[in-house]
Structure 1
């Protein structure tokens, strides 16, 4: 059994045996040593007795490779390990348990199956599932859950700086997942590596369609449900010879797709509220939609006359107002999204980059701009708190315009100018 002071130079000079492992013990700390395999790989270890008396067994714990640890660093780790053993703990068993502990990826799957799918609303489920599978698992999945450090989470968050909204949502989901894991015994009590990490500042995006843009959007929808929206084919590709003739290249919108887009504009409802709307939730006689569940809970949506007309004219196929491909089948499901038709329509209307959710903003902007007041608009949108609607407060300009016109006319009269009508600039022009 070789002994020497384990220094960087001495460790580098040790040569391996051809047929067996070589163990070299440190002369400064009893129980600390170096193991060298026949192939030449070197790692530090700590030895201790598990128990007291002659029957106590000797155990050895690997501390790490010489490629990752300096001798003094490994010696400090050995001191801690030997001290833990002196207190009655079993460092080898503790390390084995850590090694067998679930990974972050496994925790993501358990959390999704036992919490997300059961406790969260459908739209929230989709967001959580996307973040768990596409952002948390690729960045942190291989790490053991109980070994995840705040630095690991902070670095993952920083790596997503170009998409601050998703980065902050990812941080929130990690925090929620570890709070759940704490409650159910998967990690130590009060262990949450996502706490007290500063979030990125987010710029709230507000996009309102103008009257002229709405006119183009309406024209594109009408073209899509009649002649079809033209599309182009890359003639340089070999498959282009199988494409339809130019006059036959058109994307047709089904009545349900066109109806869904129109209802989103006319009601200001959220996408999921329209796509999951069932005929049993519709009361055309009273002009309302009675939603049993939404993002803000049970909700009533007022149907204006154009929206009532849209719903009344839709073919009834299955239980959902906006029929999907599974309409009328035993396991009928609502339509998942409108991504492809929406992209086609906005491209044709010259509105690329406009989101479906911007239709909700547009509905609100017309309501506020017409001086209906924030509380009324908030109720129409289903906001539970006024501060949510206050993001549209800057659009409430009519009272200010009337005041400004009154002052301006008074000043013009004083200057001998002819007063102008308050209606020179209409609300739609101003927008």
Structure 2
């Protein structure tokens, strides 16, 4: 009886061993044992130093910055049946498998960074747009953010940026590429124009940072070019009178340069210092005779803040005359049929030629307004408020001191010192 029990025990032991062997063979065939992650397996022997380093493996420890903070990355190292190691990288829900071409975990650690970077680069290549592709997004933003004139200038400058950077991804535009563009453009245009294009590119890259396409703005690392001093042109009292006389003559005559309201346009520009675009788009709905203000909305003003310019009696007289002559017009400065007048560059240039004035632009009337306010002794803060500048530095660019005023101050100083020495003061 005891011998039969031993046989049964032996039979059960053999059956269990065969079953375990079959399970092991089946598991090897399906890869459920050898395909277990090296990082998670329970090894009987003590882990080596290399295995422990792999066990602590993560994206940050490998110093992988490009997109790692923005794209979820999960890394696992596996061993194949032949002993070769390979890596599985889960990037934003997509599995990428790459062979490390080694059986040693210490060598795998050296290769894994380049493998993950290549996988991330492939993912980024699909996500980060080129400058030409991103232009559409930026222009839509620019149209909402800036005035019509600024948006129009951005459209003109955008063509040169697309010509040089259009095929490059936003994350490929670096300091070196920007410097090469500046050097190339410097042979064609002035430093001021190059700086304007640089500012536009900086605005584009800043917006790309806001949308998380890139981590930093590379334009910040490139300094602006040194520009030549800006032109200082304003009209003296004598030049103002000659110009207004010429405008009045052109308003009355027919033919080339004829503009029936040029006199009112130029006089309003000098009295208010408003920009040409604001005058062209000025509507009667923006002129409030009750409160005595001309209102420029924030969307049409350069510094993105509304401007309230007080209407003085002389200006009110001019505006009232225009309202009487064109009672049903929508725009203040309009054609005979009441529609928007448009550009008056040709008639203004004709008036300047008639008055014998050289190198005069319509924007110089804004400088003339600031200079006249300064000659009247108006303080800088009031000038800034009237002209709608954001800073005092911007106002100073429009305030000029005539040489006659400087000479009078010098003569007054000499006379005062003479009286002090003579004892008469």
Which of the residues 226, 232, 245 maps onto 1:206? 232
Does structure 1 conserve the Cα–Cα contact (< 8 Å) formed by 2:348 and 2:362?
yes
Matches within 5 A, 1:409-420: 411=418
TM-score if structure 2 supplies the norm length?
0.62
Superposition map of 1:157-196 within 5 A: 157-161=182-186, 162-185=189-212, 187-190=213-216, 192-196=217-221
1:370 aligns with 2:371: no
- Structure 1 alignment gaps of length 5 or more: 1-50, 57-82, 229-248, 329-333, 420-431
Counterpart-to-counterpart distance in 2, 1:318 and 1:327: 4
Which one has more relative contact order, counting CA pairs under 8 Å at least 6 apart? 2
1:9-67 per-residue CA deviation (whole Å, 9 max, x = no partner) reads xxxxxxxxxxxxxxxxxxxxxxxxxxxxxxxxxxxxxxxxxx974899xxxxxxxxxxx
C-alpha distance in 1 between matches for 2:153 and 2:176: 24
**1:366-392: CA deviations, max 9, x gaps?**
121232333333332233433433342
- Which of 98, 101, 116 does residue 89 from structure 1 map onto? 116
Alignment partner of 1:219 is 2:227: no
User: Which one has a bigger Cα radius of gyration?
Assistant: 2
Tell me the alpha carbon deviations over residues 65-121 of structure 1, each in whole angstroms, 9 at most, x when there is no partner.
Answer: xxxxxxxxxxxxxxxxxx7677543848845863885321221222102x1112223
SS of aligned partner of 2:132: helix
TM-fit CA distance, 1:362: 0.6
Question: Equivalents in 1 of 2:249, 2:135: separation in Å?
Answer: 45
1:266-415 matched pairs, under 5 angstroms: 266-293=271-298, 294-296=301-303, 297-314=305-322, 315-323=326-334, 337-391=343-397, 392=399, 394=401, 401=408, 404-405=411-412, 407-408=414-415, 411=418
Residues of 1 paired with 2:263 and 2:400: CA distance?
31
Gap change, CA 1:376 and 1:171, over 3 Å in 2: same
Residues 1:310 and 1:194: Cα distance change in structure 2 (over 3 Å): same
Pairwise CA distance, 1:279:
0.7
Counterpart of 2:50? Answer: none
1:40-55 superposed matches below 5 A: 53=80
Shift of 1:402: 5.7
1:251 match: secondary structure:
coil
In the superposition, relative to structure 1, how do residues 84 and 227 fare at CA in structure 2: closer, same or farther (>3 Å)? Answer: farther
CA distance in 2, matches of 1:260, 1:98: 54
Is the 8 Å Cα contact of residues 258 and 347 (structure 2) preserved in structure 1?
A: no
Q: What secondary structure sits across from 1:313 in the alignment?
A: helix
Tell me if structure 2 keeps the 8 A contact 1:224–1:252. yes
